[in-house]
Amino acid sequence: MKKALTILSLWISFAGFSQVNDFGIWTSLSAEYDFLERFSAHVSEELRFNENATELGSYFTDLGLDYKLPVPGLRAGMNYRYVRRRAWNDMYTGRSRWYMDLSYKRKLWKLTGIWRMRLQTQNKTGLTDEDQPTASNYLRNRFTFKYNSERRIRPFVYMEFFTNLNTGLGDNIRFCGGLEFKQNELSNFELFYLYQREYNLPDPGRNFVVGISYGLNLNTLFETAKSKPETDSAPAN
């Protein structure tokens, strides 16, 4: 009996140490511009703090182009992301990520359901570190539900599943819940809490993240600037 208890306690200790837990803060700023009826372009900058939010783990710039397909609610996009990630030697190494999105949105009573499939490939640039593979390819599926409300605050939840195409195995899952605040047609921001869990990896981790994002609609910004009355700058006689 004592031997069994000893083995059980050792197993529990090993399981606790084999799972790496971390708290992080993610912040982002984005802008979007619609043109030619069906096209839209967007750019965003994001900072992600880890190690209990004490250091900047990564930061990246995202550029993308979306197209509204003839099928209502269906959209496709092509994007590029340049990532700088902190390595074990405290240097930031570069990564280039290309990804394609296909999404479908549909209203379901008082909810809006959004399915997004993402196919991404990422390669290192410059120096490398031993913590990540040289190249990675993933298929990601995310399911989002937003509550349709006439108020400025809309709650949302989503879950996302990652499949590593290099191994053919799923190795990451995310659960997220938050609030979207739409101030006006010009801007909106989100507050969210995200739980991320890795599996099928040598050293799986769990992340608990608090995030805030701010989005800007450039079409509304330009229209507002044009509608402002011109002022007479000539000096008075």
DSSP-derived letter for residue 186 is S
DSSP-derived letter for residue 148 is -
Q: Distance of CA 14 to CAs 7, 10, 20, 172, 203, Å?
A: 11, 6, 11, 21, 12
Q: Distance of CA 66 to CAs 36, 42, 79, 173, Å?
A: 11, 8, 8, 25
Query: d(Cα 124, Cα 201) in Å, to the nearest integer?
Result: 20
Number of residues assigned to the chain: 237
pLDDT in tens, 10-54: 333 444 445 689 999 999 999 999 999 999 999 999 999 999 999
Amino acid 224: pLDDT:
79
Which distant-in-sequence residues (6+ apart) come within 8 Å of 14 by Cβ? none
Query: d(Cα 86, Cα 126) in Å, to the nearest integer?
Result: 13
pTM across the whole model: 0.84
Q: What are phi and psi of 126, to 5 degrees?
A: 75, -135
C-alpha of 175 from chain center: 12
Query: d(Cα 118, Cα 191) in Å, to the nearest integer?
Result: 23
Amino acid 157: pLDDT:
98
Amino acid 88: pLDDT:
87
Q: What are phi and psi of 41, to 5 degrees?
A: -120, 150
Listed residue (229, 232, 190) closest to 26, CA to CA: 190
Amino acid 230: pLDDT:
58
Amino acid 184: pLDDT:
84
**Within the chain, which residues score under 70 in pLDDT?**
1-19, 126-134, 228-237
- 19-226 architecture in CATH? Beta Barrel (2.40)
Query: d(Cα 75, Cα 69) in Å, to the nearest integer?
Result: 5
